[in-house]
Amino acid sequence: MVNNAKHMEMEPLEAVNAQCLRTELQWFVAVANERLSVTFPNPPAPSEKDSKQEPPRDKGWLGKLFSDEQEAAQYGDIKLLTTSSATPPDLTQSVATYAELVRHYSMSTEERLVLMLALIPHIQPQLLDIFFAPNKINNRGFSEFGGIKGQQFGGFLPTIETALYIAAGNDLERRFRLAHIFEPDHFFFLHNILYIHTQPGNEPYTSGQICLTDEYTDFFTTGKQRTPQFSMDFPAKRLQTQMEWEDLVLEEVTAKQLDEIRIWLQHRETLMNDWGMAKKLKPGYKALFYGPPGTGKTLTASLLGKLFKRDVYRVDLSMVISKYIGETEKNLEKVFKRAENKNWILFFDEADALFGKRTTISDSHDKYANQEIAYLLQRLEDYPSLVILGTNMRYNIEEAFMRRLQVVVHFPKPQSKERQRLWQSSFSAKAQFAEDVNFEQIARQYELSGGSIVNVVQYASLLALSRGGNVISQSDIIQGIRKEYLKEGKTI
C-alpha cells in the first residue's frame, strides 16, 4: 500500500486526469447507449459486407450510424427511462482535478452527465458523432438530440436539449426538474465552470450550446492553465517586469497610497471571510492611477501583480471601443468573463477613452451611452479582484466611476531627490562614470519623468558602447537629456 501511494504521488497529473476521465467517459457512453436503445430499440441491420465478416463486439448505439433499414415505426416507439442502470464511477479516491471538483460540489448523476457532455468535444469529439445521424422520415437531424455544428469544428456541439435528452429522454416531469442545472444561480455558472452560448432570435432556450470554459478544460486535462493569447477574442496583454518592488522610486505620499492597495491584496481573504465582511463590502478593489506619462503607473501595476503572484493584464482599449451600439460591452465582456475567478489584476491604461466624461446627451444614439456606463459600473462592482484605471488627467474620468473608487493615487513627476535615486539606480552595474558626472547636479537641474530618465540611460549607455568602452561621461547624459527635451518641445 505504501509503495502504491508513492507511485500515485509520482504519477504525472496528466496521467491521473486521463485515467479518471477515461472511466467517466465509459460511464457516459453506457448511459447514452441506454438512452438510445430505449428510444430506438432495434439497432441498425448490418450491411451485406459486414455480415460476411466476424461480427464486432457490440458497443451500443454510440459511435454507430443509423441504417436505411430503420423504419418509422421504430422511431415512433418512444419509452420513458426514469433511471439509468449505469452506475456513476466511484471517484472518492481519485486525485484527478475532475474528481476533486465532483466531490467538492457533491455533484448529482445528472450534473456529472452535463459536465462530461460539455467536456467531450474537447477530448473525444467522435463519441458524439452519432447525434448527427439523419432522421429518415424527414431527412434532417433528430430534434430531440439538439446540438449544433461549429464553423471550424467538425464535430457535434451539445446543447441543453442534448443534455435533457440523455438525462431524461421525453419524461417531461424529469426534464422540468433538471432545468435548475441551467439556471444562472447554479454553481456551474456562478463559478464560471460552464456557460451557455445562445443564438439571437426567439429560439428555445434549450437550443443554447453548453460550453465548458477554457479554464476548466485546462484543469481537467493538463492541470495547467494556459495563458490567453492577445487577440480580438481576448483584447488584453499580460504585463511582466524583471524589476522588483524595491526598485520602484516614488514620492512618499504616493508610496503610502499604494500601501492601501498592498494591504487589501494581502488581507482581502481574511477581511471578507474570517471577518464576515463579504455581505457588507463589494467583492473587489478599484483604484485610479493618474499622472503624466512615464511616472510609473504601468510599472506599479506590474509590480503589484509580481509582489502578490497575480497575473496583470493591460486591456487594449483600441480593440475594445467600438462605434457600433453594444459592441464595446461585448468586447469588454470577453475580458471580464475570462478573468473571473482567477484573481487577475486588470489595468485600463488611458482609461478616459472608456471611463471618461460624456458630452451632453442629445439624441437617441447618444442616450445609449447611459446603458454603456451602467454596464461598466456593474461590471466594475462585480469584479472580485483589483481593477486599475490609468489616466494622465484625474478630472477626465466620469464622476459615476470616481465615486466607486477605493483609492486615487497621484503619480507626479519625480522631484530632485527621487530623480537622483533614479539616475543612480538605472544604469548597469558594468557601467563606469567619468569624473565629471554629477548625478546630484543633473537631478536638480533637469526635470524629467522616470520613463524619460530610462531613455537617457539607454542613449548614454549605447554611446559608451559605440566607443568600445563602458565609461559614460556627463556629455553623454546631457546629449540624452537634450533629446528628451526636444520631444516635449523644450530646449536646454
Long-range contacts of 328-332 (CB under 8 A, 24+ apart): 328/354, 328/372, 329/372, 329/375, 331/235, 332/375, 332/376, 332/379
- According to DSSP, the residues that pair with 432 across neighbouring strands are 471
Provide the pLDDT for residue 16: 94
Question: Looking at the domain assignment, is residue 390 inside a domain?
Answer: yes
Helix (H) or strand (E) holding 34: helix 13-39
Question: Looking at the domain assignment, is residue 46 inside a domain?
Answer: no
- According to DSSP, the residues that pair with 442 across neighbouring strands are none
Provide the pLDDT for residue 7: 45
Which conformational region is residue 106 in: left (phi greater than 0), alpha (psi within -120 to 50 degrees), or beta?
Answer: left
Question: Looking at the domain assignment, is residue 155 inside a domain?
Answer: yes
**Do residues 313 and 360 lie in contact, with contact meaning Cβ atoms separated by under 8 Å?**
no
d(Cα 474, Cα 61) in Å, to the nearest integer?
A: 82
Looking at the fold, whether 163 and 32 belong to one and the same domain comes out as yes
Looking at the fold, whether 111 and 197 belong to one and the same domain comes out as yes
Provide the pLDDT for residue 65: 35
Counted domains in the chain: 3
- Cell numbers given for 344: 487577475
**Do residues 404 and 382 lie in contact, with contact meaning Cβ atoms separated by under 8 Å?**
no
DSSP strand E in 182-293: where?
194-197, 209-212, 236-239, 285-290
Question: Looking at the domain assignment, is residue 107 inside a domain?
Answer: yes
- Taking only the tens of pLDDT, the chain with its 492 residues reads 334 444 445 689 999 999 999 999 989 988 998 888 887 766 544 445 444 554 444 445 554 433 334 333 322 332 333 345 578 999 999 999 999 999 999 999 999 999 999 999 999 999 999 899 888 888 888 899 999 998 889 999 999 999 999 999 989 999 999 999 999 999 999 888 999 998 777 889 999 999 999 889 999 999 888 888 888 888 999 999 999 999 999 999 999 999 999 999 999 999 999 999 999 999 999 999 999 999 999 999 999 999 999 999 999 998 888 887 788 888 898 899 888 878 999 999 999 888 887 655 555 445 556 677 888 888 888 999 999 999 998 888 888 889 999 999 999 999 999 999 999 999 999 999 999 999 999 999 999 999 999 999 999 999 999 999 999 999 999 999 999 999 888 887
Looking at the fold, whether 295 and 430 belong to one and the same domain comes out as no
Torsion of CA 226, 231, 233, 235, to 10 degrees: 100
Looking at the fold, whether 66 and 160 belong to one and the same domain comes out as yes
Question: Looking at the domain assignment, is residue 169 inside a domain?
Answer: yes
Looking at the fold, whether 147 and 255 belong to one and the same domain comes out as no
Provide the pLDDT for residue 42: 61
Question: Looking at the domain assignment, is residue 345 inside a domain?
Answer: yes
Which domain covers residue 140, as residue numbers?
13-39+59-222
Provide the pLDDT for residue 239: 95
Residue type, 318: S
Provide the pLDDT for residue 106: 96
d(Cα 74, Cα 477) in Å, to the nearest integer?
A: 88
* pTM score, whole prediction: 0.74
Q: What is the DSSP letter of 164?
A: H
* Final residue belonging to a domain, choices 222, 252, 277: 222
Looking at the fold, whether 296 and 169 belong to one and the same domain comes out as no
Among 207, 236, 218, 234, CA closest to 97: 218
* Final residue belonging to a domain, choices 360, 394, 410: 410
Looking at the fold, whether 363 and 442 belong to one and the same domain comes out as no
CA distances from 30 to 27, 36, 63, 98 (A): 5, 10, 12, 19
Provide the pLDDT for residue 367: 54
Instruction: Give, rounded to a whole angstrom, the gap between the first and last alpha carbons of the chain.
Output: 79
**Do residues 182 and 115 lie in contact, with contact meaning Cβ atoms separated by under 8 Å?**
no
* Final residue belonging to a domain, choices 386, 410, 434: 410
d(Cα 212, Cα 196) in Å, to the nearest integer?
A: 9
430-455 burial, b at 16+ Cβ within 10 Å, e below that, comes to ebebeeebebeebbeebebbbbbbeb
* C-alpha neighbours within 13 Å on the C-beta side of residue 77: 12
Looking at the fold, whether 198 and 334 belong to one and the same domain comes out as no
- Cell numbers given for 243: 524589476
Looking at the fold, whether 250 and 197 belong to one and the same domain comes out as no
